[in-house]
Amino acid sequence: MYAGSDQLGEKEDLLGAFDGNLLDAFNGESIRYRMHVSDYIGKIDSDIISVDVYPLYIDNETGKLSTYDYWLRNLDILANACRETGRKLWVITQAAGNSVEEGGGMRHCETVEDQRWQDYVALAFGAKAIIYGCYYTGWWDQSSHMIDNNGNRTKTYYAVQQVNKELSPIADLYGKYENVGAVIYNRLNPFAAGAKLGLTKVEKQYKPEVATAAPLLCGCFTEKNGIGGAYVFTNMFEPQTGMAAPFTAVFTGAESITVYRKGIKHVIEGSTLTMTLENREGVFVTVDYGENTSRPVC
């Protein structure tokens, strides 16, 4: 994810040799990265692809928060590789940061909102494991770790603990579904995290009808037997905006919709979901079509 073309071992003249995708042609690093992932798959016989993604940044001069531009595209490339080769995606999130005095870059992410956001973005791409990296010394600000150098639990520890408590009730249910891709709505919104690049196209039958003016990430899932569907919706406004994301999603033919929000289950009768996600909030949604055969076929 952070490597340059020399480190990836790919040559400039191979640029554009894949699918002619203009977004990839605009961002040559994406093509080289895909080539690197392909080489890895060809040489390493593994059941998983595990990746560290540390997307939360801070500008030391201005103090402005920002997000790694290719956060979503990176996960999209790896999720595709996992689907195509029968591997599982594991994501190691950012659970530590630098201090301004140390040169900064990756900021402290000690709030529940920061941890929740990273987790639901990972889930939207079908992550089967979410791992929190713990470091001792190194280049991280020691006070930002889940455990500091005196052995004390920190704010980061308690933020991770809280979000894990919220995810625990959906873990088994989430595992019954297979990820078929993710969609980003309003990706050109200048305040949207990861707005620069599009994601791999998801087939129409897997997507709900979504109406929103906010940047919204929607992970799409189907049951292993092809019956029923599930979704992960995540607010993709940048944290510094503090903005909520209202949206409406219609699941044609559905009898009921179940929303798991912060670990709490809510059942909605009918086929329409209308809600507002807080800044950095995500939800897991399952859809029950009952005996209705007029629904889109997965």
> How far is residue 199's CA from residue 166's CA, in Å, rounded to a whole number?
28
pLDDT of 292: 58
Place of tokens 């979704």: 231
pLDDT for res 101: 57
Report all structural domains of the chain as residue ranges with CATH numbers, in order of start: 5-172 (no CATH), 177-288 (2.60.40)
- pLDDT at 138 (0 to 100): 61
Torsions phi, psi for 180 (to 5 deg):
-115, 5
Q: Which residues have C-beta within 8 Å of that of residue 169, sequence separation ≥ 6?
A: 260, 263, 265
* Rounded-to-integer distance, Cα 15 and Cα 34, Å: 11
Spatial distance between the Cα atoms of 55 and 74, rounded to a whole number of angstroms: 11
3-state helix, strand, coil in the chain (%, to 5): 30, 30, 40
Tokens of 225: 């037997």
CB distance 214 to 184 below 8 Å: no
pLDDT at 297: 44
Q: Which residue has the tokens 């928060």?
A: 65
Determine the pLDDT at residue 36. Answer: 83
Strand, coil or helix: 52: strand
Task: Write out the chain's pLDDT in tens, 298 residues.
Answer: 556 666 666 554 444 444 444 344 445 567 777 888 888 899 999 999 999 888 998 876 777 788 887 789 889 999 999 999 999 999 999 988 776 555 557 888 899 999 999 999 999 999 999 998 766 666 677 788 888 888 889 899 999 999 999 999 999 999 999 999 999 999 766 667 765 667 888 998 899 999 999 999 999 999 876 667 999 999 999 998 999 999 999 999 999 999 999 999 999 999 999 999 999 999 999 999 887 544 554 4
Report DSSP state, residue 252: T
What is the Cβ-side half-sphere exposure of residue 220, based on CA atoms within 13 angstroms?
23
| DSSP label at residue 106 | E
The answer to whether 120 and 282 are in contact (CB under 8 A) is: yes
Tokens of 159: 């933020």
pTM (global) more than 0.85? yes
The span from the CA of 77 to the CA of 225, in Å, is 25
Sheet holding 48-52, edge to edge: 48-52, 88-93, 129-132
**Helix H or strand E segment including 41:** helix 28-43
CA distance 274 to 25: 37
Q: Tell me, what's the pLDDT at 209?
A: 95
